[in-house]
Amino acid sequence: MAVTVHIPTPLRAQVGEQAKLELEGATIREVLAALTERYPKLRGRLLNQRDELNRFVNVFLNEEDIRFLSNLDTPVKAGDGIMIVPAIAGGWATGPDTASAAGGAMPEALDLPALVRELAAMPERLRVAAQRLGERALTSAPPDGFCLVEHAWHLADLEREGYQPRLRALLSEEEPFLPDFDGARVARERQYRTRPLAAGIDAFAVARAATLELLASVPENAWTRLGTQEGVGRVTLADVVRAVLAHDREHAREIAALEA
């Protein structure tokens, strides 16, 4: 059965600049196998050596995150749409840009009101986790992962030093260069674990409010403004907004694991 796979902006060079492909398969796993068989260079970008999704790759089936379905074994049917949302350490992720580059309108797949509601809820998600974890918020972490205080300060610094500068550059400059934000290196250098948790959550809340205010000011014709993301390639303003949401969701999953 044929399903539509939407190819995000930075992966299109690997598939002949196609924005979407029609592929066969009965599950997400089979569809991705068909995709990587046709375009082998995508395999390492999407899957690890165990044929599982790489940590910072999200896949959505008809806008539902497959991690909350049956993951790669989620069944698909004819006419379904699959959206690949890759991310890198700099907090970048993108989904398919379905708008015309000439038209510049809001991409159809970007539901801004729903996105804003979800983004606005993230600081409170951290506060709830802080209450549930108590003292474990400062120490409990998986191997090579963050504890809650590291999540909070990472989110705050990435918002202020990564996402907001990218959004402002895309709104004010013609095809700007957008530097990477090495979150892992910054976390080590700034020693997030030595910082107060409450201050980190407050800093993130202030930064997130500023981001939402910035998004509210975006003109309707600006969503397809282009720039070049370091280590990624060409991205649109809409891509960066999707990045914020995908990054939030990844951290929310990791925080949920800390609470379990």
Interval 9-39: pLDDT, tens: 778 888 888 888 999 999 999 999 999 999 9
Please state the rounded mean pLDDT for residues 142-171.
93
Rounded to whole angstroms, the Cα distance separating 150 from 155 reads 8
- Supply the pLDDT for residue 110: 63
Residues, the chain, total?
A: 260
Task: Name which of 101-115, 166-180, 188-202 the model is least confident about.
Answer: 101-115
Give the phi and the psi of residue 81 in degrees, each rounded to 5.
Answer: -115, 130
Please state the rounded mean pLDDT for residues 51-57.
78
Query: pLDDT for 63-107, tens place per residue?
Result: 777 877 888 999 999 989 998 876 543 554 443 333 333 334 444
Please state the rounded mean pLDDT for residues 134-154.
89
pLDDT band at 141 (very low <50, low <70, confident <90, very high): confident
Q: DSSP labels for 113-140? A: HHHHHHHHHHHHHHHHHHHHHGGGGGT-
- Token readout for 52 is 């599982």
27 in helix, strand or coil?
A: strand
pLDDT surpassing 50 at residue 112: yes
Strands 64-65 and 57-61 turn out to be antiparallel
Beta-strand runs (E) in the chain: 2-6, 20-24, 57-61, 64-65, 81-88, 92-93, 177-178, 226-229, 233-236
Question: What residue ranges define each of the domains in the chain, with the CATH number in brackets?
Answer: 2-88 (3.10.20.30), 112-259 (1.20.120.450)
- Supply the pLDDT for residue 237: 92
Task: Name which of 114-118, 129-133, 191-195, 211-215 the model is least confident about.
Answer: 114-118
pLDDT surpassing 70 at residue 238: yes
Question: Nearest Cα to 166, choosing from 71, 244, 254, 221?
Answer: 244
Type of residue found at 42: L
Q: How many CB atoms lie within 10 A of CB 239?
A: 29
Q: What does the radius of gyration of the chain's CA atoms come to, in whole angstroms?
A: 18
CB 28 within 8 A of CB 73: yes
pLDDT band at 109 (very low <50, low <70, confident <90, very high): low
Question: Nearest Cα to 95, choosing from 259, 244, 204, 255?
Answer: 244
- Mean of all residue pLDDT scores within the chain: 85
What predicted TM-score, i.e. pTM, was given to this entire model?
0.67
- Token readout for 75 is 């069944």
CA 26, 30, 32, 33 dihedral sign is negative
Query: pLDDT for 186-230, tens place per residue?
Result: 998 999 999 999 999 999 999 999 999 999 999 988 999 999 988
53 in helix, strand or coil?
A: strand
